[in-house]
Copies of this chain bind each other. A is one copy, B any other.
Amino acid sequence: MADRAPRQPRYQRIKEYILDGIAKRTFQPGCKIPPEIELAQLFGVSRMTVNKAIRDLSEAGILLRFAGDGTYVAERKAEAPLLDVNNIAQEIQARSHNHSITLYTLRAEPATEHIALQLGVHVGATIYHSLLVHREDGIPVQLEDRFVNPSWAPDYLAQDFTRITPNHYLMQHSPLTDIEHTVEAVMPQREEQAMLEISATEPCLLVFRRTWSHRNLVSFARLLHPGTRYKLRSQTQLD
């Protein structure tokens, strides 16, 4: 039991070499990197080992491979897709518009069966609940109905959510490690129509979002957007 040193695979060094080269601009986006056989000689490994390293980077979208031609550095990085979607305040500010919040509810409640299931707590356990509307230049663009597990955000109720967003507070206190989204189209309920200042016939985008911090399910949010005022957008580069 002496050597607990986790021996690093050789292909790892090659991956680092490539990634370093990209970071240091030795390998610029769009340029061709040395062929497998050359890297194999350079590192003193077999071609298949180089292949493993390059293939990994290719599957990760960092490199583009063309049989008979060569391997190229991808132009743009794959962005974390839906991350932008969560920070609506940032989004609005990026458009040079004014972001404001109307707070409707902020309190501790017992968890209903549905909420308990989503948050992974027992029915009746105390959870924190916030309900607020995000506005862009005064116009409602998102109804945020959020349930938080008190264990991972004890000071949640003490925050001033007319000044900072729940998302902002949570990000600071329990770093986001996992997100789950589901998106569907729905018709708004009566109270929701009022808070979003829309008609009963306007379809809405409903986004459910659950966020984890190191395996802990921190919060569960229901984000409702008027169909005519909001779009989700994402751009990704694959391989």
Contact = CB atoms under 8 A, between A and B. Distances in A.
Interface of A: 59, 64, 80-83, 175-187, 201, 203-206, 214, 225, 227, 230-239
A172 B42 CA distance: 34
Given A80-B236, A203-B204, A238-B176, A185 B182 contact: no
B82 A177 contact: no
B181 A234 contact: yes
A231 B183 contact: yes
Task: Kindly list the 9 A-B residue pairs having the minimum CB-CB distance in the complex, ordered from nearest.
Answer: A203-B203, A185-B227, A185-B203, A185-B185, A183-B232, A185-B205, A180-B235, A184-B231, A181-B234
A212 to B, nearest CB: 9
Contacts of A175: 239
A92 to B, nearest CB: 17
Contacts of A180: 233-236
